[in-house]
Amino acid sequence: MWSGRRISAVALSSLSVIAVGSSYVLRPTVQVSPRQAIEQAVATSAAATSASTTFSTQVSGMTTLYGTAREQGRESRMATLAMTAVDGAEHFSVTEIVTGPAVYISTPGLAQALGKKWLGIPVPKLTEDPAMAQLYQTNAIPDAGAGLIAVASTVRLAGTETIGGVPVSRYVGTIDPSRARDRLAPRLAQLLAPQLAATTGQIRFTAWVDGQHNFRKIQTISTVGGRVSQTTLIYTSSSLPGRIDVPVSSEVEAFS
One pLDDT digit (tens) per residue for the chain, 256 residues: 444 444 444 443 433 332 333 333 444 445 789 999 999 999 988 888 888 888 888 888 888 888 888 888 666 678 888 888 887 888 889 898 988 788 898 988 877 888 899 999 887 777 676 556 555 666 656 677 778 889 999 999 999 999 999 999 999 999 999 899 889 877 778 777 777 888 899 999 999 999 999 999 988 899 987 889 888 888 887 766 678 889 999 999 998 7
Radius of gyration over alpha carbons of the chain, in Å? 18
CATH architecture of 4-254: Clam (2.50)
Domain extent listing, the chain: 4-254
Compute the distance between CA of residue 244 and CA of residue 193 in angstroms, rounded to an integer.
24
Q: Considering Cα of 48, then 14, then 251, then 109, what sign does the dihedral take? A: positive
The pLDDT assigned to 135 comes to 58
pTM value is: 0.80
Residue by residue, DSSP assigns 17-70 as: -----S-----------HHHHHHHHHHHHHH-SEEEEEEEEEETTEEEEEEEEE
